[in-house]
Structure 1
Amino acid sequence: MPPRPLIIDCDPGVDDAIALLLAFASPDEFDLLGITTVAGNVPLALTTANARRIGHLAQRTDVPVYAGCPRPLVRSLTTAEDIHGATGLQGADLPEPTLPLPAQHAVAYLIERLTTTKTPITLATLGPLTNLAVALIQCPDIAQGIDEVVMMGGALGGGNITPAAEFNLYVDPHAAKVVIDAGLPLTMVGLDVTHQVVTTADRLAALEQLRTPVGQAAAGMLRYYGQIDIERHNLVAPPLHDPCVIAYLLCPELFSGRPMHLAVETEGTLCLGRTVANPCPTAAAPANAIVLETAHAVGIYSLLTERLGKL
């Protein structure tokens, strides 16, 4: 089969960076058309520079990076430097990107690409959903060019930024509602899955033993990343969120899930950004997403290490 046309919308961020590397390392499976960036883990200027740094690291400067929305639709921006470090890529010393940044805004790029494509495009969303929501508001017809959206965000249980909400959807819950309510083929990769995929000492050592610039950078970032989450969420090691989206697109057999009715809270205060997934859809609230529930962590890390070894 020909490679799947793919656009990655992200806010790098350490785990976004690892996800980008996994996608870059899979040219037989992905025709990576472009990367769009949004404010999230760190402000937009840093997420955009970080995406470009990772492209240079992977020697994939053929994939353009488009800067997108610098803030959520309604709320002020919440960032996560405590998790990712002040630059967003704590643990990796990567040079500044040298190629010029395209002038086109990420939203304009999404609209142009999705309305002119002859083959529907998969969207991997790894950060707040602001860019995609604005594109849908400006041009609902982009839905016809979308094959599916695979979203890292949400949770069936508790959150990781508040007791109720996962970070990406908490940052811009109103954008998440636009996307979830748009009727797109949607798969949710939430915390219930990503907290099963943790970077143990053995898995980190396997990346270090690649003894390549990519392996050393990935290991350096993961050595720092997510330490706070161990105590917050009683995990044995730091979780690896965003690469699960790319791993799912590569090897869906490593995951299991089922159709559910998905909604996001936008009106409350204590539960703002919480996802509510009903595993027993009704005629009034039919299934509108595949919600993943389990992940095979050993297989995911084996895939990640094998692929990064090719860069």
Structure 2
Amino acid sequence: MTTVEPTAHAHPDASPAHPVPVIIDCDTGIDDALALLFAVRHPGIDLRAVTCVAGNTDVDQVVRNTLTVLDQAGAPELPVARGAERPLIEPARPAAHVHGRDGMGDIGLSAPTDRMPVDVDAVTLLRREILGSPRPVTLVPIAPLTNIALLLRTYPEVTRNIERIVFMGGAVEIGNATPVAEFNVWHDPEAAAILLSAGVPITMYGLDVFRRVVVPWADVQRLSASAEPGARLAGRLLAHRDPAATGDPTPTGSLGDAGAVCAVADPAGLTTSLLPVEVSLTPGPTRGQTVVDRRPRPGESEIHHGTREKPLVDVALDVGVERYVKLYLGTVEKR
């Protein structure tokens, strides 16, 4: 068993002089939209493509939401592709109770204008953009990992031009889809297991940090009142759960998936530890759990049955909350 004490990321920060080529794979609900707004506007990120997968809502609605968000963000023309409409084994299980019927909080967003998805599927687009990039790509899946698993199994050669995979998924401690499983991994556990075996550096931005990066309500209100469409959309999405209805005495807006993209732009804001991680694939209450081994030494199981190799993953254990909130607001309000 191999463990490393928690440290900040070793790979360099994104900067305008050397923007990081990024591809986002998403199931555009509320926080995926926040992530796209940030990725489009941060000067250190070169967003090359967006691929869509079923998750928060059905895949066709995900495509529509993605195109609408790119419109609102003032994004340049970007290839957007439709991907898997269900997990590898399980049926699709959308999260309308969190993201609304349309996946975007039912806030009444208009349809996309002239943007259209490309005429190839997500896996084909991923292969084309990764292998065609002059610099190694950072892949940022913030959704169930079905598209990524299909890519890795169909075109394993793409790994030679992937710098790192930063995925939003998993949890060291408490889940949300179940007591121990986070939604993206729970939605397609087999796909998550395939991703972990990709053989490239991987950062797991899980619920342990995901839940902590929240925008103060005063900032949410300011964004919501902005005359600039992208900033206003960010505010409306952050505010989609009415504090009066929730009864929360200190209402805040969670950045959610957007924190994973902040970690690409500013990796030093994230504290990680290189740890063995595996996904529970057995039926029952632990299915979809990311089992993160934080023990300092092998236990009785390894002593009696031998050590089994597990993928080593940079697991996010701590995050600079104020740092990422400031980074997000400063980027989205730049227009």
- Which position in structure 2 is the counterpart of 1:161? 177
Superposed CA deviations along residues 172-216 of structure 1, whole A, max 9, x for unmatched, are 001000010222210000000011112331331342354422222
Q: Does 1:5 align with 2:21?
A: yes
- Which position in structure 2 is the counterpart of 1:303? 327
- Which position in structure 2 is the counterpart of 1:76? 91
290 and 265 in structure 1: CA distance in 2 versus 1, 3 angstrom threshold: same
308 and 238 in structure 1: CA distance in 2 versus 1, 3 angstrom threshold: closer
Q: How many residues align?
A: 307
310 and 93 in structure 1: CA distance in 2 versus 1, 3 angstrom threshold: farther
152 and 225 in structure 1: CA distance in 2 versus 1, 3 angstrom threshold: farther
Q: Retained in 1: the 8 A contact 2:278–2:311? A: no
191 and 210 in structure 1: CA distance in 2 versus 1, 3 angstrom threshold: same
Q: Does 1:266 align with 2:281?
A: yes
Deviation at 1:145, TM superposition (A): 1.4
Q: Retained in 2: the 8 A contact 1:39–1:71? A: yes
Bigger drift between 216-225 and 265-274 goes to 216-225
**How far apart, CA to CA, are the structure 2 residues paired with 1:277 and 1:226?**
35
- Which position in structure 2 is the counterpart of 1:174? 190
Superposed CA deviations along residues 54-96 of structure 1, whole A, max 9, x for unmatched, are 1111121411111111100011111101111111112543322
3-state SS in 1 of match to 2:89: coil
Deviation at 1:240, TM superposition (A): 2.7
- Which position in structure 2 is the counterpart of 1:253? 268
**How far apart, CA to CA, are the structure 1 residues paired with 2:196 and 2:47?**
24
Q: Retained in 1: the 8 A contact 2:38–2:261? A: yes
Alignment of 1:129-168 (within 5 A): 129-168=145-184
Deviation at 1:2, TM superposition (A): 2.2
Superposed CA deviations along residues 273-301 of structure 1, whole A, max 9, x for unmatched, are 00011134777436611001111221211
68 and 211 in structure 1: CA distance in 2 versus 1, 3 angstrom threshold: same
Gaps of 5+ in 2: 1-16, 299-306
**How far apart, CA to CA, are the structure 2 residues paired with 1:19 and 1:38?**
15
Deviation at 1:112, TM superposition (A): 2.3
- The amino acid across from 2:61 in the alignment is L
- The amino acid across from 1:254 in the alignment is G
Please tell me the root mean square deviation across aligned C-alpha atoms, in Å.
2.3
- Which position in structure 2 is the counterpart of 1:39? 54
Deviation at 1:101, TM superposition (A): 2.0
- The amino acid across from 2:312 in the alignment is N
Structure with the bigger RCO (C-alpha within 8 Å, sep 6+) is: 2
Q: Retained in 2: the 8 A contact 1:107–1:131? A: yes
**How far apart, CA to CA, are the structure 2 residues paired with 1:275 and 1:206?**
37
Q: Retained in 2: the 8 A contact 1:91–1:217? A: no
Which of 127, 140, 145 in structure 2 is aligned with 1:111?
Answer: 127
Rg (Cα) greater in structure: 2
Q: Retained in 2: the 8 A contact 1:16–1:242? A: yes
The TM-score with structure 1 as length reference comes to: 0.92
- Which position in structure 1 is the counterpart of 2:217? 201
Deviation at 1:236, TM superposition (A): 6.5
- Which position in structure 2 is the counterpart of 1:279? 294
- Which position in structure 2 is the counterpart of 1:128? 144
The TM-score with structure 2 as length reference comes to: 0.85
**How far apart, CA to CA, are the structure 1 residues paired with 2:107 and 2:215?**
17
- The amino acid across from 1:83 in the alignment is V
Gaps of 5+ in 1: none
- Which position in structure 1 is the counterpart of 2:14? none
**How far apart, CA to CA, are the structure 1 residues paired with 2:254 and 2:283?**
28
Q: Identity percentage over the alignment?
A: 30
Which of 201, 221, 240 in structure 1 is aligned with 2:255?
Answer: 240
121 and 252 in structure 1: CA distance in 2 versus 1, 3 angstrom threshold: same
- The amino acid across from 2:53 in the alignment is V
**How far apart, CA to CA, are the structure 2 residues paired with 1:225 and 1:2?**
37
